[in-house]
Amino acid sequence: MERKCFSTPWSRSIFLSEITRNDNAIYIVAVVAERIVGYAGIWIILDEGGHITNIGVDPAFRRQGIGRGLLEELTLQAMCRGGIIAMTLEVRLSNYEAQALYRKLGFEPSGIRKEYYQDDKEDALIMWRELVEKRTNVGN
């Protein structure tokens, strides 16, 4: 599925290492009729918040709310386990589908990382989502 979703897919060994050795990572899958149809991951980074590493949904199961469900569940787990207050990610400038999903969940564009993707040097859009409302000081 990773190969179906990404032009520079992570290898099996990267996934194994992430799942078994990275204590600061959370990975979840979406299952339909005992078949994995989507997955998503996040790194919990102190002082930064949660950094979404990847999210992919099997093309045959897209536009059914699975991507949204994965992100919502990942957010809940990261907030409970890591106490994060914000989340960030990079997305290809041309990846309108993913950007639409992120915007729907409250992520906002905050900058560009030039030539971020190694295969074709495409720029990445950086997006952030605050998970708690900013407090404002009210004088008495």
Ligand X SMILES: CC(C)(COP(=O)(O)OP(=O)(O)OC[C@H]1O[C@@H](n2cnc3c(N)ncnc32)[C@H](O)[C@@H]1OP(=O)(O)O)[C@@H](O)C(=O)NCCC(=O)NCCS
Residue found by looking up tokens 């074709």 in the block: 120
Q: Which of 2, 73, 90, 122 is catalytic?
A: 90
Q: How far is the CB of 40 from ligand X (least distance, A)?
A: 8
- Which parts of 108-137 interact with ligand X (CB under 6 A)? none
67 touches ligand X by CB under 6 A: yes
DSSP sequence for 40-103: EEEEEETTTEEEEEEEEE-GGGTTSSHHHHHHHHHHHHHHHHH--SEEEEEEETT-HHHHHHHH
- The DSSP secondary-structure symbol of 14 reads H
95 touches ligand X by CB under 6 A: yes
62 touches ligand X by CB under 6 A: yes
SS3 30: strand
Pick one of 29, 104, 106, 112: the residue that binds ligand X (CB under 6 A).
104
Residue 30 in contact with residue 19, Cβ under 8 Å?
no
Site stretch for ligand X (CB under 6 A), options 41-49, 65-73, 80-88, 130-138: 65-73
Q: Which residues bind ligand X (CB under 6 A)?
A: 5, 55-57, 62-68, 91, 95, 97-98, 100-101, 104
- Active centre residues (catalytic): 90, 102
